[in-house]
Amino acid sequence: MAIKSLELPGRNKPYVMAHRGNRVHCPENTLASFQRAIDEGADIIETDLHLSGDDNFVCIHDATLDRTTNGTGPVADKTLEELKQLSASYGRPEFEAERIPTLDELILLLPPDRALALELKTNRFLNPAIARQLVNQLRRGGIFDRTVLLSFHLDYMQSVQREAPEIPIGLISLTNPFPRKDVQLTGVFWPALLINPFYVCIAHHNRQAACPLDPTPDKRLRWYKRMGFDAILSDDPGKTINLLRSL
């Protein structure tokens, strides 16, 4: 699987990237959310990475526990054992047993024909030891060749890329309507595409893959498909997949 060029053999573009799993039907960034997205046929599972206080990679978006769990305070102040005592149900009683997953738990869940997108959420990735730890963990899990790193912070990803130059990185932007040339995947918050409708053409000229930052894309799928995006982000990947099939 050539993730560097975002080519997933046997799967059709645009690929659907499950944003924090399926966060419409399940609490975001939980094993239930990831499994539902996998079962629905998502091509790429996207999650956010923080570190526990004892340096374990955990799948959670916020730097604090308050929004998505029944805990409080910074994620980095808790050991993995302490984090695992919390419910990650996001206040949904039927998911009370869900816990904050580790990266290893997600890797074990991922089928061999799917890819992984990891959004790096903390400046701890600037530490070469942490960057090296991530690379080694991806290699041990057999997922390195199917992983792309994402971030709003180019330096976080470059830190990891210094440890493994072949790992692809994708820069996310809220405002820049022009792709940067020093990344392999590029994405911008979708209204910026109204300023530059040639965004994908420029990215492909630069030999980059492109994905709009739009977790609720369904009203714009025809437009994205016509523009030639390589991947589509979605909070509800099953619904998005079904709509794409009808276009």
**CATH number of the domain that 53 lies in?**
3.20.20.190
In this structure, are strands 115-120 and 185-188 parallel, antiparallel, or unpaired?
A: unpaired
The pLDDT assigned to 118 comes to 98
Q: Which residues pair with 51 in a beta bridge?
A: 57
pLDDT in tens, 174-188: 999 999 989 999 999
Query: How far apart, in Å, do the first and last CA atoms of the chain sit?
Result: 26
The chain-wide mean pLDDT, for the chain, equals: 96
* Angular region, 41: left φ>0, alpha ψ -120 to 50, beta rest: left
Average pLDDT value for residue range 168-197: 96
- pTM tops 0.75, yes or no: yes
The pLDDT assigned to 4 comes to 53
Is residue 2 very low, low, confident or very high in pLDDT (cuts 50, 70, 90)? very low
pLDDT in tens, 90-129: 999 999 999 999 999 999 999 999 999 999 999 999 999 9
Positions marked catalytic: 19, 61
Is residue 7 very low, low, confident or very high in pLDDT (cuts 50, 70, 90)? confident
Average pLDDT value for residue range 140-163: 97
> In the 3-class helix/strand/coil scheme, how is the chain assigned residue by residue?
CEHHHCECCCCCCCEEEEECCCCCCCCCCCHHHHHHHHHHCCCEEEEEEEECCCCCEEECCCCECCCCCCCCCEHHHCCHHHHCCCCCCCCCHHHCCCCCCEHHHHHHHCCCCCEEEEEECCHHHHCHHHHHHHHHHHHHCCCHHHEEEEECCHHHHHHHHHHCCCCCEEEEECCCCCCCCCCCEEEEEHHHHHCCCCHHHHHHHCCCEECCECCCCHHHHHHHHHHCCCEEEECCHHHHHHHHHHC
The pLDDT assigned to 6 comes to 74
pLDDT in tens, 36-71: 999 999 999 999 999 999 999 999 999 999 999 999
The pLDDT assigned to 205 comes to 95
Is residue 139 very low, low, confident or very high in pLDDT (cuts 50, 70, 90)? very high
Total domains in the chain come to 1
Is residue 1 very low, low, confident or very high in pLDDT (cuts 50, 70, 90)? very low
Q: Which domain covers residue 46, as residue numbers? A: 3-246
Residue 155 clears pLDDT 70, i.e. is over it? yes
pLDDT in tens, 232-246: 999 999 999 999 999
